[in-house]
Amino acid sequence: MIVAVYDTKPYDRRHLATSEHADIDWRFHEFRLSADTVSTAEGCAAVCAFVNDEIDAPCLERLSDLGVKLVAMRSAGFNNVDLDAAKSQGITVCRVPAYSPNAVAEHAIGLLLTLNRKIHRAYNRVREQNFSLNGLVGFDLAGRTVGVVGTGKIGRIAAQICRGFGMNVLAYDPHEDAVWAKERGVEYVRLPELLGKSDIITLHVPLLLETYHLVKAKTIAQMKRGVTIVNTSRGKLIDTGALIEGLKSGQIGGVALDVYEEEEGVFFEDHSGEVLQDDELARLLSFPNVLITSHQAFLTEEALNEIARVTSENIRRFAKGEALLEGTKVG
Ligand code: NAD
């Protein structure tokens, strides 16, 4: 079975090519899947895509014309797939719902520790033989209040790590798990209370109509002055313009991002040597209290192995007309 794989990097190719299903003929592409590139799926029964591929209605219509019946997302999120269009074209969409929630939660907390204790700045200083500590003052996490927005697989682990640091954990999720919260010493509150009481707010919700620009001027104004915001979920959860205003006014004390509103075409690629065209990203990079990584929270050996295992098993099952792995089909 031939499968076109888009937006691939060496680490994707290494893990997929060595997955146990030798019967899959992977056609790896470095470019992204979109209506402009979809013709490269000709002759393939399935395509495998990632978070920045544009699997919109025109792309899906063309995939259907080419006889592609399966879009296998090698990500948990699938907001870049037009599910209604996929359904009307008779294309099945699957994903990898939980390749390593630990990887993402650990990265979120890693970002928080780095930003708060300014480890990234200290690292650079020491390499220049600048052993001064001026400007490197952080705060103890123990005793602080963290607000976890979204207590699904990743949010729960983030909350548990924070409890391990001796933090008070508030959480907001429309689907509360009272048993888990009691066991872990987490308190569910409504969103405005979480915003008003948290020293740190970490986002672990999917991008949905209701969560688009969850962090915007109005919600930033409800937060504690000097709040630290961590986002490892999706860039469009935050209104970047409002975030910049919040940083400039001091209402926001620090921001750690693994995702960015306009990351498509920028993140995952080497643009050093080019002039950065995105003025808001350039402004964000100019703040000393902003730390950005390039959508790498998932990037552990364990997660890549699991993505390859689930993706190739689903493709094999689909080809044989068997049911997909439980919980992986979307739409
Ligand atoms: P999940 O589906 O297990 O949990 C999401 C939780 O969000 C659910 O409990 C849901 O009830 C809750 N939720 C939905 N709407 C909400 C709202 N309006 N307010 C508060 N909570 C709401 O998902 P997960 O595996 O924990 O992943 C969370 C997100 O992390 C994904 O959607 C994805 O966007 C992101 N992610 C990022 C990376 C990365 O590399 N940076 C990797 C994987 C996942």
pLDDT tens digits, one per residue of 228-253: 999 999 999 999 999 999 999 999 99
State the Cα–Cα distance between residues 296 and 331, nearest whole angstrom: 26
pLDDT band at 77 (very low <50, low <70, confident <90, very high): confident
Maximum Cα–Cα distance for the chain, whole Å? 64
Question: For the segment 156-186, what is each residue's pLDDT rounded down to a tens digit?
Answer: 999 999 999 999 999 999 999 999 999 999 9
pTM of the model: 0.91
Burial 63-86 (b: 16+ CB within 10 A, else e): bbebebbbbbbbbbbbebbbbebb
* For ligand 1, mutation pick of 51, 99, 154 (most atoms within 8 Å of CB): 154
Three-state secondary structure readout of 142-175: CCCEEEEECCCHHHHHHHHHHHHCCCEEEEECCC
Question: For the segment 49-74, what is each residue's pLDDT rounded down to a tens digit?
Answer: 998 899 999 999 999 999 999 999 99
State the Cα–Cα distance between residues 245 and 166, nearest whole angstrom: 31
Q: Determine the distance separating the centroid of ligand 1 and the alpha carbon of 172, expressed in angstroms.
A: 12
Helix locations, the chain, DSSP H: 10-17, 57-65, 83-88, 101-117, 119-127, 153-164, 178-184, 191-197, 217-222, 240-249, 279-286, 301-319
User: What sign does the CA torsion over 181, 207, 59, 37 have?
Assistant: negative
Residue 109 has pLDDT above 70, yes or no: yes
For ligand 1, say whether the CB of 211 is within 6 Å of any of its atoms.
Answer: yes
For ligand 1, say whether the CB of 215 is within 6 Å of any of its atoms.
Answer: no
Atom index in ligand 1 nearest the CA of residue 297 equals 40
Q: Determine the distance separating the centroid of ligand 1 and the alpha carbon of 161, expressed in angstroms.
A: 17
Question: For the segment 12-49, what is each residue's pLDDT rounded down to a tens digit?
Answer: 999 998 877 668 999 999 999 999 999 999 999 999 99
Give the rounded percent of residues in the chain with a pLDDT score beyond 90. 93
What is the reported pLDDT for 52? 87
For ligand 1, say whether the CB of 210 is within 6 Å of any of its atoms.
Answer: yes
| Two structure tokens written together for 282 | 């350039």
Residue 268 has pLDDT above 90, yes or no: no
State the Cα–Cα distance between residues 169 and 182, nearest whole angstrom: 11
Nearest CA to ligand 1 atom 1: 152
Map tokens 């979109």 to a residue: 34
| Two structure tokens written together for 234 | 């999706």
Best CA proximity match to 204, nearest among 74, 303, 77, 72: 77
Nearest CA to ligand 1 atom 6: 152
What is the reported pLDDT for 21? 65
